Chain A
Amino acid sequence: MKLPIFLDNHSTTPMDPRVLETMLPYFVEKFGNSASRNHAFGWAAEEAVENARKQIAKLIKADPKEIVFTSGATESDNLAIKGVLEMYREKGDHIITSSTEHRAVLDTVKALEGKGKATATYLPVDKFGMVSPQDVRNAITEKTILISVMLANNEIGTINPVKEIGKIAKEKGILFHCDATQGVGKIPVDVQDMGIDLMSFSAHKMYGPKGVGALYVRKKNPRVRIAAQMDGGGHERGMRSGTLPVPLIVGFGKACELCEQEMVSDTARLIAMRDRLEASIMKALEESYLNGHPTNRLPGNLNISFAYVEGESLLMGMKDIALSSGSACTSATLEPSYVLRALGVGTELAHSSIRFGLGRFNTDDEIDYTIKKVVEVVTKLREMSPLYEMAKEGVDLKSVQWAAH
């Protein structure tokens, strides 16, 4: 086993070596511009791009023509939301989204609101982080033109009832955008069955290269139109101009193909490791609380709050394991995770949260090491914690008058 261990697979994933192999010829030998229609260099590039488009479409049960390449999921989210708002502004300006969306969605919606181009409803989530389809239905107004709800959350892994939301959107004739960045390649996604009209996802979250993503844009029932957000050569059916990054797209395609072929075995392995990690930690450490849905969540996700210890110090104590925390100290904003807060997790437990993100390349040995280390470090830091000491003495921490600063 090699240290450090990478258990932060929600942030990004290592590229699968098989993906790299398929990309390599497209840097030096087959370097053509896929938009060059009149020579062999261009044809070779175009063929590679179209092959990748097929691989990607197959994974999400779409038509290859419905795939628009972007630089990643953030761009896809921006393009979908701003593109729809601009294209359909005569129909209305109301967006329904949820409070636990990724910042790429939330900040895009807020930016539109700030410019007076949109009005928005931010739906709450239940204690597991799930959006209620009934809430979506109730939030719809005559002005609603877009519903944007994520497939699976990046912090807690909770999977939303996307199919039910898709049905409501269809029934009401409202477009449905889904940020599926964490879900595609990890759990089955079927844009037809789920009633999704626009969907964002990214290669680097599924063992592909960084710098490339896609926006699925439905072509039939209904035919979705979006206003381009960049002017230029009119690539990607006019929706996203810019020369296509052929090697990245080839890698993206291969990554999708591998995810499709290996999803069943990957999932079984990840769930077994994740459940063992969860059970062992919970058994060894009292007052550890699972954040997110107990069962309906991403196979590789585990988010736990360890009462009485602060997240950043936990990460510091386990510096040979790459993890992430909802603690304010690890964020730029000095606020603890808004996702955990939306679930109703108390601020102090949000500060105490750790996200474990397991992926394709993690091993049982790494999980064993992590279990041992987590138990050791939490125990050590609790010994150091005045809150733990007070709780042990029977002091109700909520009754204490803290000198807030």
Chain B
Amino acid sequence: MAYSDKVVDHFNNPRNMGSFKKDEEGVGTGMVGAPECGDVMKLQIKVQNDTIVDAKFKTFGCGSAIASSSLATEWLKGKTIEEAQKIKNTDIVQELNLPPVKIHCSVLAEDAIKAALADYQKKSDGVQADAK
């Protein structure tokens, strides 16, 4: 199977690969997938004033899974929480030109985004509750 140029580019030059400390203020972490299924994505966002100022990923999976998560971090940076919620897996499929057998990689990336946002939300709700 041939990979699209964009998948190859993200695979060879992954954007924002790495990790934040999970307990760092403003950080939301999403981890989705399972090793038995052959892909696990960890996606993290760093939020300040409702805006994602930084994002990082680590992925165990095929080239398309790596590219999908790399692209997701690129897109997340600079977006507000509300805007980030609107990223759809189909956008990723289109941008990376993923073939049908690789669509699940984009679904996983969307799930990872949602999970990271939910984790951030949960943490910040907790902080607000503590403050009260």
Of B59, B62, B101, B111, the contact of A384 (CB 8 Å cutoff):
B59
Of B11, B17, B35, B59, the contact of A348 (CB 8 Å cutoff):
B35
Asked if B60 contacts A385 (CB within 8 A), the reply is yes
Asked if B58 contacts A310 (CB within 8 A), the reply is no
Per the bound structure, the CA–CA distance linking A199 and B63 in Å amounts to: 40
Asked whether any CB of chain A lies closer than 8 Å to the CB of B41, the reply is yes
Asked if B58 contacts A329 (CB within 8 A), the reply is no
- Which residues of B, 15-31, contact A by the 8 Å Cβ criterion? 17, 19, 31
Asked if B32 contacts A405 (CB within 8 A), the reply is yes
- Which residues of B, 102-130, contact A by the 8 Å Cβ criterion? 104, 107-108, 111
Asked if B33 contacts A313 (CB within 8 A), the reply is no
Complex interface: chain A residues within 8 A of B19 (CB) = 389
Asked if A347 contacts B14 (CB within 8 A), the reply is no
Asked whether any CB of chain B lies closer than 8 Å to the CB of A344, the reply is no
- Which residues of A, 355-395, contact B by the 8 Å Cβ criterion? 383-389
- Which residues of A, 206-223, contact B by the 8 Å Cβ criterion? none
Asked if B36 contacts A348 (CB within 8 A), the reply is yes
Of B14, B40, B111, the contact of A402 (CB 8 Å cutoff):
B40
Asked if B38 contacts A329 (CB within 8 A), the reply is yes
Asked whether any CB of chain B lies closer than 8 Å to the CB of A316, the reply is yes
- Which residues of A, 323-374, contact B by the 8 Å Cβ criterion? 327-329, 334, 336, 346-348, 351
Of B39, B40, B62, B111, the contact of A316 (CB 8 Å cutoff):
B62
Per the bound structure, the CA–CA distance linking A388 and B61 in Å amounts to: 12
Q: How far is the CB of A7 from chain B (nearest CB, A)?
A: 19
Which of B17, B58, B61 has its CB near the most chain A CB atoms (within 10 A)?
Answer: B61
Interface of chain B, helix or strand or loop or mixed?
mixed
Q: How far is the CB of A329 from chain B (nearest CB, A)?
A: 4
Complex interface: chain B residues within 8 A of A404 (CB) = 34, 36-37
* Binary B-proximity of A231-254 (CB < 8 A = 1, otherwise 0): 000000000000000000000000
Per the bound structure, the CA–CA distance linking A374 and B40 in Å amounts to: 22
Complex interface: chain B residues within 8 A of A279 (CB) = none
Asked whether any CB of chain B lies closer than 8 Å to the CB of A118, the reply is no
Asked whether any CB of chain A lies closer than 8 Å to the CB of B75, the reply is no
Asked if B17 contacts A384 (CB within 8 A), the reply is yes
Asked if A313 contacts B11 (CB within 8 A), the reply is yes
Of B17, B32, B62, the contact of A310 (CB 8 Å cutoff):
B62
Given the interface contacts A308-B60, A386-B60, A389-B58, does A313 sit within 8 Å of B36 by beta carbon? no
Per the bound structure, the CA–CA distance linking A186 and B36 in Å amounts to: 35
* Binary A-proximity of B32-52 (CB < 8 A = 1, otherwise 0): 111111111110000000000
Asked whether any CB of chain B lies closer than 8 Å to the CB of A309, the reply is yes
Q: How far is the CB of B59 from chain A (nearest CB, A)?
A: 6
Asked if A310 contacts B34 (CB within 8 A), the reply is no
Per the bound structure, the CA–CA distance linking A383 and B17 in Å amounts to: 9
Given the interface contacts A316-B11, A386-B31, A386-B41, does A405 sit within 8 Å of B60 by beta carbon? no
Per the bound structure, the CA–CA distance linking A389 and B65 in Å amounts to: 17
Asked if B63 contacts A312 (CB within 8 A), the reply is yes
Asked if A405 contacts B33 (CB within 8 A), the reply is yes
Known: A403-B111, A404-B36. 20 other contacts (CB 8 A): A309-B60, A312-B63, A313-B66, A316-B8, A329-B38, A334-B101, A346-B36, A347-B36, A348-B35, A348-B36, A351-B35, A384-B60, A387-B35, A389-B58, A403-B31, A403-B32, A403-B34, A405-B32, A405-B104, A405-B108
Which residues does B use to contact A, with CB under 8 Å? 3, 8, 11, 14, 17, 19, 31-42, 58-63, 65-66, 101, 104, 107-108, 111
Which residues does A use to contact B, with CB under 8 Å? 308-310, 312-313, 316-317, 327-329, 334, 336, 346-348, 351, 383-389, 397, 402-405
